[in-house]
Amino acid sequence: MTAATAPITQDVLTIPRKAPPKAGDGRVNLVGLTRDGLRAALLEAGTPERQANMRTSQVWQWIYQKGVRDFAAMTSLAKDYRALLSARFVIAVPEVARRQVSSDGTRKYLVRIDGGHEVEAVYIPEDGRGTLCVSSQVGCTLTCPFCHTGTQKLVRNLTAAEIVGQIMVARDDLGEWPAPGRHPKDETRLLSNIVLMGMGEPLYNFGNVRDAMKIAMDGEGISLSRRRITLSTSGVVPQIARTAGEIGCLLAVSFHATTDEVRDRLVPINRRWPIATLLDALRAYPKLSNSERITFEYVMLDGVNDSDEDAYRLIEHIRGIPAKVNLIPFNEWPGAPYKRSGDARIRRFADIIHKAGYASPVRTPRGEDIMAACGQLKSASERARKAVRRGAS
Ligand code: SAH
Ligand code: SF4
């Protein structure tokens, strides 16, 4: 097939590395453990106390700086110590069940986790760098009616290993484990930013999200700056201050409406923590400086939340908060009860916000040919499987 007739979408079945060890063989996975957790595990396995800190650092670096999955390759460790580790532990990341590459370079990974569940992670390249959108739960307890994930029940929280594992499998796929001793700057990395904007509400899985992000930020490993990690929440107010204190990453809020009446419908968590309460929590979010603005996400739904009055009310709400407004043209999905606002409407809305002094970029839809919107790949693959089952019976 010539390039001209090649399909724009590649569907590639990839298992980038050796299949992870089978669960249930009794060995403990080291991925996802905090540094203290790793140290405790190594001590328990018989590492002498006086060597524990050094061994923790060494194993940590092999896993998170060099991307090694096999203890035998940890050549800075004595052979019998490597054997001891492989008898007790595994280094397991989720399996990539399916990878799709869009004509615009967006890569979507369907990641299979224990229990036969699947979540998705999406890599969006931009100017030599790129952002990985990471999931935090299978499904979601919340029921925002415009969001496809909201139509799926919460199955379970992801573990820290499964969250940081999404970053690790994306690095596998991008071939981005640096050679020993090299430590590329964030700016020159293919995977330079993380957004917690995949499936699920990260602040309802706080501990695991925190541990995974701490691992991603650790300077001896993946080493991403906290300013390159953005956590998106629908507005779990009591956890917002904790996010600042315990993770320290940037914050995005799914705002989406400018009156409680409309937000109660679009983002039902608003009935518990209404707009005024949410804004108080955002005003109190520390480290607010111009380079660390809060992102207000605003999905543009035709005739629902996209009037000029909405734009003016939004400006009133965010006054005094270092903020930018990310306008997201609604990503339609089959059966969705809303339509995307027209281009002219979105431009006008963006203009009003911009004139008030706030950045108001309109998010360009990416990876539309591979359905890279929240929750879509998983449901598409489920539909395909159901169709196969129907065909078989
Ligand atoms: N649960 C968190 C993070 C995951 S959703 C949250 O709600 O913030 C990530 C972002 O995608 C949110 O702003 C969400 O409102 C938005 N989103 C979900 N479905 C969408 C759709 N179909 N079109 C456009 N944006 C959508
Ligand atoms: Fe859950 Fe966020 Fe989707 Fe709402 S928008 S249903 S909080 S994933």
**CATH code, domain carrying 62:** 1.10.150.530
pLDDT at 180: 59
Looking at the structure, do residues 228 and 109 belong to the same domain, yes or no? yes
Q: What is the pTM of this model?
A: 0.90
Single-letter amino acid, residue 42: L
User: Same domain, yes or no, for 346 and 300?
Assistant: yes
The CA-based angle 144-146-147, given to 5 degrees, is: 70
The residues with which 254 forms a beta bridge, in sequence order, are 297
Task: Give the torsion through C-alpha atoms of 75, 81, 82, 83, to 10 deg.
Answer: 140
Q: Are residues 147 and 80 in the same domain?
A: no
The set of residues, in sequence order, having a beta carbon less than 8 Å from that of 113 and lying 6+ positions away, is 94, 119, 138, 158, 162
Final residue belonging to a domain, choices 90, 108, 124: 90
Torsion of CA 365, 290, 199, 267, to 10 degrees: -90
* Mutate-to-test residue for ligand 1 from 197, 243, 304, 305, highest number of ligand atoms within 8 A of CB: 197
Q: Cα(239) to centroid of ligand 2, in Å?
A: 16
Our answer on whether the CB atom of 146 is closer than 6 Å to any ligand 1 atom is: yes
Q: Which atom of ligand 2 is nearest to the CA of 137?
A: 8
pLDDT for 61-83, tens place per residue? 999 999 999 999 999 999 999 99
User: Are residues 86 and 99 both part of a single domain?
Assistant: no
Domain identity same for 183 and 302: yes
The reply to whether 280 falls in a domain is yes
Tell me, yes or no, whether 86 and 230 share the same domain.
Answer: no
- Residue 174 falls within a domain, yes or no? yes
Ligand 2 atom having least distance to the Cα of 232: 2
pLDDT surpasses 90 at 119? yes
Considering the domain architecture, whether residues 84 and 187 belong to the same structural domain is answered as no
Which residues are part of the catalytic machinery?
Answer: 120, 374
331 domain-assigned: yes
Residue 38 domain boundaries: 28-90
Residues 127-139 have a mean pLDDT of 94
Is 392 part of any domain? Answer: no
User: How are the residues of the chain apportioned to helix, strand and coil, as percentages rounded to the nearest 5?
Assistant: 40, 20, 40
Residue 263 pLDDT exceeds 80: yes
The structural domain count of the chain equals 2
- Let me know if 362 is exposed, middle or buried by CB neighbors in 10 A (0-12, 13-18, 19+): middle
Asked if residue 3 is part of any domain, the answer here is: no
pLDDT per position as a tens digit, 173-214? 999 987 655 666 666 899 999 999 999 999 999 999 999 999
Same domain, yes or no, for 260 and 120? Answer: yes
Q: Is the pLDDT of residue 382 over 70?
A: no
Query: Which residues approach ligand 2 with their CB closer than 6 A?
Result: 140, 142, 144, 147, 149-150, 200-201, 234, 254
How is 317-350 classified by DSSP, letter by letter?
A: HHTTS-EEEEEEE----TT-S--BPPHHHHHHHH
Report if residue 225 sits inside a domain: yes
Residues 155 and 180 both lie in one domain: yes
8 inside domain = no
pLDDT at res. 365: 74
244 pLDDT more than 60: yes
